[in-house]
């Protein structure tokens, strides 16, 4: 992949958001990339609404719009708009190329799909890393518990050794020589 293509993908990836647990792009960003006005893009979608089911395109709630405006300066113009923006999933973005029917739209759709695929790979590798980290944490926890048990066993061994040492250090009473006559014994 050329540096130019990588730069384009980075620009696109920066415009992909996770909303409602889906990777989406906002209509304003898509209009900029397709070099059309947002109004024109949304009109084209409305004329072909049957091609955009809910899992291809949805309208943001007021709360989602507020969060988007708060986190991204380029959406400042949406702050006072009475209309909430639309979000397009990867499938919706691809469908836009068919609706807009221009060379730019077709080329841009290819780039957009590549960006979505690239982002999916990144998210997948991140999830894999999280699984590996979780495995390591579990192993360390297991080893720590195992170590605690071994430490307790070693402490117990030291206690037994100390008790044995005490027994060795304490003089045992020596048998006394008996004085006098003991029956059944050779008294010499």
CB 18 within 8 A of CB 67: no
Model's pTM, two decimal places?
0.57
Residue 29 and residue 87 in contact, taking contact as beta carbons nearer than 8 Å: no
Length of the chain: 188
φ/ψ of 31, rounded to 5, equals -60, -40
Q: DSSP class of residue 187?
A: -
Residue 60 contacts residue 86 (beta carbons within 8 Å): yes
Helix (H) or strand (E) holding 19: strand 16-19
Mean pLDDT per 10-residue segment, the chain (188 residues): 65 84 90 88 92 92 92 85 91 83 73 76 75 80 81 83 79 67 67
Domains and CATH numbers, the chain: 3-123 (3.10.260)
């Amino acid at each position: 992949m050329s540096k130019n293509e990588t730069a384009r993908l980075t620009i696109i990836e920066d415009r992909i958001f996770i909303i409602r647990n889906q990777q989406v792009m906002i209509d304003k960003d898509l209009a900029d990339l397709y070099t059309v006005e947002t109004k024109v893009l949304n009109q084209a979608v409305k004329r072909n609404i049957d091609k955009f089911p809910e899992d291809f395109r949805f309208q943001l709630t007021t709360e989602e719009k507020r969060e988007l405006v708060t986190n991204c300066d380029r959406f400042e113009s949406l702050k006072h708009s009475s209309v909430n923006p639309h979000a397009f999933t990867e499938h919706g973005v691809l469908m836009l190329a068919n609706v807009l029917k221009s060379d730019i739209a077709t080329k841009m759709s290819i780039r957009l799909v590549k960006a979505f695929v690239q982002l999916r790979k990144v998210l997948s590798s991140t999830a894999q890393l999280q699984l590996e980290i979780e495995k390591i944490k579990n192993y360390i926890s297991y080893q720590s518990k195992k170590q605690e048990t071994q430490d307790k066993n070693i402490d117990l061994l030291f206690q037994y050794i100390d008790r044995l040492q005490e027994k060795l250090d304490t003089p045992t009473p020596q048998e006394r020589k008996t004085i006098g006559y003991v029956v059944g014994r050779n008294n010499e």
